[in-house]
Amino acid sequence: MNAIILGIESSCDDTSAAVIKNGYLLSNVIASQAVHEAYGGVVPELASRAHQQNIVPVVHEALRRAGVNKEDLSAVAFTRGPGLMGSLLVGVSFAKGFARSLNIPLIDVNHLTGHVLAHFIKVEGEENAQPDFPFLCLLVSGGNSQIILVKAYNDMEILGQTIDDAAGEAIDKCSKVMGLGYPGGPIIDKLARKGNPKAFTFSKPHIPGLDYSFSGLKTSFLYSLRNWMKDDPQFIERHKEDLAASLEATIVNILMDKLRKAAKQYGIKQVAVAGGVSANTGLRNAFYDHAQRFHWQVFIPKFSYTTDNAAMIAITGYYKYLDKDFCPIDAPAYSRVTLK
Ligand code: KG4
């Protein structure tokens, strides 16, 4: 029996739908919302409205590209949370209506679990190594920075997480004060390739255990900039590559220090990375470097599965479908961070 899962993702500012058949990806359509660029961040109400406009054409296109009729679907999986409530509600309501009309099961997916299980997306004709259980996953995005112990598809434990800002949030905010634009991550990444990572030193947090903190770094960056600009109004313009490289290096060091600690503490050498910030070149290089130095086996997803996408929701839905782990029609969306 074929298991054909439609995945729907609408937690933030990307409307996405994907189809997975027996664990293999058939389509993954993403409509990104450019409307937020002018505001330097995601405007929730505008995001909800854009989801509302995008959801039907995006699902239609995902089914078309997959060559699948809606009547062939086995289940509909959707992001239930965490995320922006208004955005989530569009995907949640659509998924419920669609599943009910087709009389097929509904599967709720935690967005964070989806990021982790993106490592298990298979594509016909493409080789990709998949981690064995248990493994560690560093989940770094605009909203989260967590170290997760992944014991099974349906069994994960958060070992540490940020107590304030997420890594991506810190990068985005620092980029904003430098006047570089939104989202800052890809811009900082590009500039950092041309800069000296040792040019500037920013304060690193001292947080016990496996938790992270990035708000102090952001403040230290801001104050340093302010002082330098007093003496030289052209400071940012003249040093933006070095500033970007030093900021990126500091964040990558903070992330890797704790990850090394977790790997040692749990005796695990299989280490994966997930979430939007895993697109970062400096972080990817740090993973390859750790693979060599500490004999880690590292897993880095394809760029298209690092940022928000429905393929990761569909693959999580696929494993929940095999477990017959369905969700009732009255399950509400949730905005806060949980992992279940
Ligand atoms: O997972 P994601 O797409 O969305 C949510 O957080 O919901 O992550 C977005 C974050 C943003 O902070 C963005 O600036 C960051 O990922 N990002 C990057 C890069 N590409 C995206 N950060 C550093 N380097 C990149 N190349």
Which residue's alpha carbon is nearest to atom 16 within ligand 1?
Answer: 276
- Rounded CA-CA distance 144/78 in Å is 20
Which of 241, 246, 233 is closest to 200 using CA atoms? Answer: 246
* Full-model pTM: 0.93
Q: In the numeric block, which tokens belong to residue 261?
A: 């600690």
Which of 146, 169, 171 most suits a substitution to test ligand 1, by most atoms within 8 Å of the C-beta?
A: 171
Q: What is the pLDDT of residue 338?
A: 58
Name the residue at shortest CA distance from atom 22 of ligand 1: 185
Nearest C-alpha neighbor of 161 from the set 248, 244, 82, 249: 82
**Ligand 1 pocket residue status of 277, Cβ below 6 Å:** yes
Residue of the CA atom closest to atom 2 of ligand 1? 276
Rounded (10°) CA dihedral 157, 162, 166, 167: -90
Q: How far, in Å, from the CA of 141 to the mean position of ligand 1?
A: 5
Alpha-carbon distance values, 48 to 89, 108, 138, 169 (Å): 8, 19, 29, 21
Tokens read off for 30: 């993403």
**Torsion (CA) 50, 56, 57, 60 in degrees, nearest 10:** 150
- Ligand 1 geometric centre to CA of 184 (Å): 8
With a 6 Å cutoff on the Cβ, whether 317 touches ligand 1 is no
pLDDT in tens, the chain (340 residues): 899 999 999 998 899 999 999 999 999 999 988 888 777 778 899 999 999 999 999 999 999 999 999 999 999 999 999 999 999 999 999 999 999 999 999 999 999 999 999 999 999 999 888 999 999 999 998 888 999 999 999 999 999 999 999 999 999 999 999 999 888 999 999 999 999 999 999 988 999 999 999 999 999 999 999 999 999 999 999 999 999 999 999 999 999 999 999 999 999 999 999 999 999 999 999 999 999 999 999 999 888 898 889 999 999 999 999 999 999 999 999 998 655 5
**From CA 7, how far away is CA 9, in angstroms rounded?**
7
Q: What's the 3-state SS for the chain? A: CCCEEEEEECCCCEEEEEEEECCEEEEEEEEECHHHHHHCCCCHHHHHHHHHHHHHHHHHHHHHHHCCCHHHCCEEEEEEECCCHHHHHHHHHHHHHHHHHHCCCEEEEEHHHHHHHHHHCECCCCCCCCCCCCEEEEEECCCCEEEEEEEECCEEEEEEEECCCCHHHHHHHHHHHCCCCCCHHHHHHHHHCCCCCCCCCCCCCCCCCCCECCHHHHHHHHHHHHHHHHHCCCHHHHHHHHHHHHHHHHHHHHHHHHHHHHHHHHCCCEEEEECHHHHCHHHHHHHHHHHHHHCCEEECCCHHHCCCCCHHHHHHHHHHHHCCCCCCCCCCCCCCCCCC
The CA distance from 288 to 211, in Å, is: 23
Q: Whose CA is nearest to atom 18 of ligand 1?
A: 185
Q: In this predicted structure, what is the pLDDT of residue 307?
A: 84
